[in-house]
Amino acid sequence: MTSEINSLPATAALAAATRQSAAVGELMSLLTPAADVVPSGETVQAEVVALKQAATDFLLTLRLNLPSGQQTNVQVSSFQPLSQGTLLLVSQTSSEALTVAVAQNRASNLTALDTQKVPVGTLLQAKVITSQLLPAEPTASNTPTASIYRSLVSVLNSALVGETLTIESPQPLRVGSLLSAQVQGSQELNFVPLSGRLDQLAVAGQLNAQQNRQGSLDGLLNLLQDLDSRGSLSADLQSAASRVLSQLPDIRQLSDSRGVALALQDSGLFMEPRLLQGLPPTDLKSALLQLVSQLTSTLPNTGGQPFNPANAAILLAQSLPGYVRSALGMLGQVSAKPQVGGFPLPARMLPAMEGENDLQHLLRLATAALSRVQSHQLASLDESGSDADNKLQTTWQLEIPMRDMANIVPLQVKIQREDPPPQKQESEERRESAQNPQERIWRVELAFDLSPLGPLQVQAQLQQGSLSSQLWAEVPGTAQMIAAQLGYLREQLVSAGLQVADLDCHQGVAPRGKRTHLEHRWVDENA
């Protein structure tokens, strides 16, 4: 599809022609034939309350105001779409048809934008109501003309929320789909492709819902260890708990690149892509799903079924909506996106409720931990896309619960890769050669609370072979100790073959926002 969606070019004339066809009296077929829907010889007022596109026509729901003072709804088919709120004059010609004329287009379709309400550059969100191919106009040379599709879309945001917009496009827009378009003028929109990602409204809503249900992983893991050591679990539950606890690496395993790669792979972030590839799910998220399933089948009045490992995909389908599940397999694809979420996710411990036994509490903690994993997955999708400069960014956000002696320390990780804008009007070979890895920018953020150091957050950036990093420590003594060791850290990084630019340590909390990007010179006005 081209990047432009135009409001109707001969807008006034075409809109007037459409209204005129209904104004003189259009015949609409009743979906359910009935005599005397409108009293014989009477003309009543009606309002369009719903519009739906069918294969060859449009289905409308009309609310009729009968002479008796009552209202009734009827469904009719029409060859012309009429937007919700349109007022009509209706009479009945037979048991199968109504004659309809437009009385007042109270919710008239917008065929031009008021740039005072939506200035140039405004991003509009809309839902496609109808899409139909316009008849080809004859030309003097009898040469074929390009196909043009006219659509009605309902605006979902901005000052035009609730309005219906009439647009034209060289390709059809799928009915029911969501689209984003940037205002370029009173009669021109620049289409923002949605392919390969979730719509930003759906992501934001699902991310907020998951974050409201999530709970810290260490609460669940500590209770699992306690119940396992006391022998309070049945054989099946003990097996499910062991699968979860076996996913935990210790600090020594994270001291080399192979151990880090395995920990990232087993974090649960990539469970859906593995399922799409036909690979068995063996990560933290699949272990949590198995634990939830086993608890559900064990506890009374939960409606659970005995666990079958082959049902992991079904459990996943129940825990994530379809549109989210599809997009989780596309973390490498990028496009425009919203700004929701945050890093790191705050700690959230769920206390036991009154009258709740250990297994019931364990089930609540397990479902909350599952929501936390999904919150990281959705945040990864949310932060993957293109920025205002058309730079392409891909984000992977996850959490690795690691063992530190007898303690469990959740390590939150956020990795971002920023690619330069794609070059237009270049051959594919030249475009690939232009994507020099040196032009990429890599950013890594870590957040963890390691006793006795206290909460720590690390941000690092690698650009053109040069590494910069900032650290934040909430405990003053920890910040002083790290600052004193920065020289040694620089020596170790240089000996590993890296060029090191800035290394800084601050006492306090890292600045938080919808994005925590690191600036090239590491200027921190809040420090």
In DSSP notation, 242-301 reads HHHHTT--BGGGGGSHHHHHHHHHTTSTTHHHHHHTTPPP-SHHHHHHHHHHHHHHHSTT
Asked if residue 249 belongs to a domain, the reply is yes
Beta strands in 20-117 (DSSP E): 26-30, 44-53, 58-65, 71-78, 87-94, 97-104
Range in 35-49, 162-176, 507-521 the model is least confident about: 507-521
- 156, part of any domain: no
Same domain, 374 and 466: no
Residues 444 and 383 in one domain: no
Task: Let me know the angle formed at the C-alpha of 401 by 400 and 402, rounded to the nearest 5 degrees.
Answer: 105
- Band the pLDDT of 264: cuts 50, 70, 90: very high
Question: SS3 of 515, please?
Answer: coil
Given a cut of 60, is residue 325 above it in pLDDT?
A: no
* pLDDT at residue number 308: 43
499 and 380 within one domain: no
Listed range (130-144, 310-324, 452-466) with the worst mean pLDDT: 310-324
User: Does the structure show a pLDDT above 70 at 334?
Assistant: no
Residue 428 gets which letter from DSSP?
H
Residue 164 forms part of a structural domain: no
Q: What does the block give as tokens for 312?
A: 């992991």
Give the pLDDT confidence score for residue 508 in this predicted structure: 92
Q: Tokens standing for 45?
A: 């007022």
**Whether residue 220 is found in the same domain as residue 308:** yes
**Average pLDDT, whole number, for the chain?**
77
How, if at all, do strands 466-473 and 499-507 pair? parallel
Computed on alpha carbons and rounded to an integer, the radius of gyration of the chain in Å comes to: 30
- Kindly state the tokens that stand for 362: 């364990």
> What local confidence, expressed as pLDDT, does residue 462 receive?
92
User: Is residue 109 scored above 60 in pLDDT?
Assistant: yes
Domain membership of residue 235 (yes or no) is: yes
Higher pLDDT, 224 or 56: 224
User: Do 332 and 443 belong together in one domain?
Assistant: no
Mean pLDDT of 148-175: 81
Q: Flag whether pLDDT at 327 surpasses 60.
A: no
**Residue 410 in domain:** no
Hey, what are 67's tokens? 């002479």
Residues 225-254, mean pLDDT to the nearest whole number: 88
pLDDT at 31 over 50: yes
248-253 own/partner pairs: CB under 8 Å, 24+ apart: 248/221, 248/401, 248/402, 248/403, 248/408, 249/400, 249/402, 249/403, 250/402, 250/403, 250/404, 251/402, 251/403, 251/404, 253/402
Q: Measuring CA to CA, which residue among 291, 293, 379 is closest to residue 342?
A: 379
**Residues 348 and 459 reside in one and the same domain:** no
Residues ≥6 apart with Cβ < 8 Å to 404: 250, 251, 450, 451
Lowest mean pLDDT among 15-19, 71-75, 244-248: 15-19
Burial of 29 (0-12, 13-18, 19+ CB in 10 A): middle
Q: In which domain, by residue range, is 521 found? A: 436-527
Q: Does residue 399 lie in a domain region? A: no
Residue length, the chain? 527
Same domain, 274 and 341: yes
Residue 174 contacts by C-beta under 8 Å, 6 or more apart in sequence?
A: 128, 131
**What phi-psi label fits residue 303: left (phi over 0), alpha (psi between -120 and 50 degrees) or beta?**
left
Q: What is the DSSP code string of 380-397?
A: HHHT-EE-TT--EEEEEE
225 vs 148: CA distance, rounded Å: 64
Cβ atoms of 14 and 61 within 8 Å: the answer is: no
Is residue 332 situated within a structural domain? yes
Provide the pLDDT for residue 9.
40
Residue 142 has pLDDT above 70, yes or no: no
Structure-token pair, residue 280 = 């068995």
Same domain, 271 and 358: yes
Among candidate residues 369, 388, 407, the one where a domain is terminated: 388
pLDDT: is 40 or 321 the higher one? Answer: 40
**Percentage of residues of the chain with pLDDT beyond 90:** 21
Asked whether residue 107 carries a pLDDT value surpassing 90, the answer given is no
| Residue 494: predicted pLDDT | 92
Do the domain assignments include residue 395? no
Rounded distance between C-alpha atoms, residue 94 and residue 30, angstroms: 10
Per-residue confidence band for 104, with pLDDT thresholds at 50, 70 and 90: low
**What DSSP designation does 330 have?**
G
User: Which domain CATH number covers 455?
Assistant: 3.30.750.140
Residue 27's pLDDT band (cuts 50, 70, 90): confident
Q: For 434-444, write each residue's pLDDT tens digit.
A: 456 667 899 99
pLDDT interval class at 471 (50, 70, 90): very high
Q: Are residues 236 and 301 in the same domain?
A: yes
- Structural domains counted in the chain: 3
Cα 474 from Cα 508, distance rounded (Å)? 4
pLDDT of residue 507: 93
CA distance 27 to 286: 58
Q: Looking at the structure, do residues 207 and 301 belong to the same domain, yes or no?
A: yes
Q: How far does CA 145 lie from the centroid of its chain?
A: 38
Contact status, residue 56 vs residue 33, Cβ threshold 8 Å:
no
Shared-domain flag, residues 291 and 375: yes
- 426: three-class secondary structure by DSSP: coil
Q: How far is the C-alpha of 378 from the C-alpha of 324, rounded, in Å? A: 8
Nearest to 458 by CA among 379, 449, 523: 449
Q: Quick one: DSSP state of residue 173?
A: P
Segment 39-56 mean pLDDT: 82
User: Per the structure block, which two tokens stand in for 299?
Assistant: 């506890």
Which residue, 350, 372, 388, sits at the end of a domain?
388
243/357 same-domain check? yes
How are strands ordered across the β-sheet holding 441-450?
385-386, 392-404, 407-419, 441-450, 454-463, 466-473, 499-507
Of 88, 104, 120, the domain-final residue: 104
